[in-house]
Amino acid sequence: MNVVKVGFLGFGNVGSGAYKILKEKRQEIFHREKINIEVAKILVRDIHKKRSVPVQPYLLTDDIEDIVNNPDISIVAEFMGGVEPARKYILSALENKKTVVTANKELIAKHWPELEKAAQKNGVGLYYEASVAGGIPIIKVVNESLQANDIHEIMGIINGTTNYILTKMSEEGRDYAQVLKEAQKLGYAEPDPTADVEGIDAMYKLSILASIAFHAKVPVDFIYREGITSITAEDIEYGKELGYALKLLAIAKREGDAIQARVHPTFIPLNHPLSAVRESYNAIFIKGDAVGNMMLYGRGAGDMPTGSAIVSDIITACQQKGAYRYTTFYNENHPSAYICYLSNWTSEFFIRMTVRDKPGVLAKIAGVFGKYGVSIASVIQKGYGGDTAPLIFVTHPAGELSMKSAIEDIKKEEDVLRVENVIRVER
């Protein structure tokens, strides 16, 4: 049986996880799948660095040519991260007729068409299961197991760091800054948490996932994005009182040729399956016309879960032997002409404000909402016996633009001291 030689680009969290799995399970994979996989070379920045997973020094290199120009290597697996030089190295591997497996969501979200064209031209595969939700096999499920469906809605918790932070804020009533610091200490958040807490990481993943689910390009530039940095323990507490859990959701909906895609903090009812997803776990809730509602749940990051997705892609690549699958849509960087990308979608809203505690304020604010056609579903008004009081509204479905205009007008009311937060609600 031929040995399939794989070149690794990177040996950090994901690389060492994939290496461990391939090493420990080589015999088992061989017996089960009749594929003999060997890691032949590993590109790193520093070949002298101490590694947490032991590796023979002769396997390490800091010269990309040892992999992309090695005729024995037929599969290149990339987990370096970032756009450059990963893009250049992957293109070079594809041009040299090597199938590529990658965990790099930013690269796929931004340069997918270029990479896929190079793969097609050279008759090799491009796999990216690990780029969305780590160990959850969502790409394979959408591409291969749900082909019978028109998928019209995806709602996902696809960033573990923010879910960990929001869980702690909710369960322990603590502030964002405090929990973030703790998450950084425990290794759940990066020293620079921007990509996670501002929703950038989730936006890349949503771009990839929505594109394959809707068979239409959903470019990163068309995804509305809002992070969790302005969320307070009070927002979460009042949400709970109203029967909601707060999550950073990646949401995409398709109706005919109209697509909306957005990442933002979202209240969901406590009986929604996504509300039970705690700590750093991920889950993706999908609505298909044939399958109905379904949800996949699991580890969205980590060396072994992400390594699991990488190894699965490597095995699939070996099994497909030239019959590679490419995207089903016109995969270009620019938006598709036949798709209407919506920015004025409809949702319910939670609005928390601080007002002067005096008669008539509630009626005035209700009047402004009425002027913009926003109808109120419920109100919490609390007087603490002081001059000011919190006032919380939940609306019926309203358009984004109507809500923005209503909030601008409400801010001008002299008895409204602050609009503290506006958070969308989904069901």
Ligand X SMILES: NC(=O)c1ccc[n+]([C@@H]2O[C@H](COP(=O)([O-])OP(=O)(O)OC[C@H]3O[C@@H](n4cnc5c(N)ncnc54)[C@H](OP(=O)(O)O)[C@@H]3O)[C@@H](O)[C@H]2O)c1
Contacting positions for ligand X (CB under 6 A): 10-15, 43-46, 49, 79-81, 85, 103-105, 130, 134, 301-302, 306
Residue 43: CB minimum distance to ligand X, A:
5
Q: Name, in order, each residue with C-beta under 8 angstroms of 359's C-beta and a sequence gap of 6 or more.
A: none
Q: Report the alpha-carbon angle 97-59-95, nearest 5.
A: 15
CB of 131 to ligand X, least distance (A): 6
Question: 247 an active-site residue?
Answer: no
Q: How many CA atoms lie within 13 A of 329 on its CB side?
A: 23
Separation between Cα atoms, residue 44 and residue 214, nearest integer Å: 37
Give 372's contacts (C-beta < 8 A, 6+ positions apart).
398, 402, 403, 405, 406, 409
Rounded Cα gap, residues 23 and 15, in angstroms: 12
Nearer to ligand X, 134 or 288 (CB): 134
Tokens of 203: 């936006």
Least distance from C-beta 304 to ligand X, angstroms? 9
CA dihedral sign, ordered 353, 357, 363, 367:
negative
Using Cβ positions, the residue closest to ligand X within the complex turns out to be 12
Compute the CA torsion angle 246, 248, 253, 258 (nearest 10 deg).
120
Residue number with CB closer to ligand X (199 or 390) = 199
User: Which pair of structure tokens corresponds to residue 280?
Assistant: 């750093």
Strand partners, 263: 225, 250
Paired with 393 in beta bridges are 351, 379
C-beta of 42: minimal distance to ligand X in Å?
8
For ligand X, the closer of residues 81 and 113 by Cβ is: 81
Using the minimum distance from each CB to ligand X, give the nearer residue, 209 or 339.
Answer: 209
Q: In terms of CB distance, is 153 or 196 closer to ligand X?
A: 196
CB of 135 to ligand X, least distance (A): 8
Shortest distance, CB of residue 104 to ligand X, whole angstroms? 4
User: Cβ of 9: how many Cβ atoms within 10 Å?
Assistant: 26
**Helix or strand holding residue 387 (H, E):** none
Helix and strand totals (H; E) in the chain: 14, 18
Q: Between 22 and 259, whose beta carbon lies closer to ligand X?
A: 22
Which residue is catalytic, options 20, 205, 217, 247?
205
Backbone angles phi, psi at 313, to 5 degrees: -65, -40
Question: What is the set of active-site residues?
Answer: 205
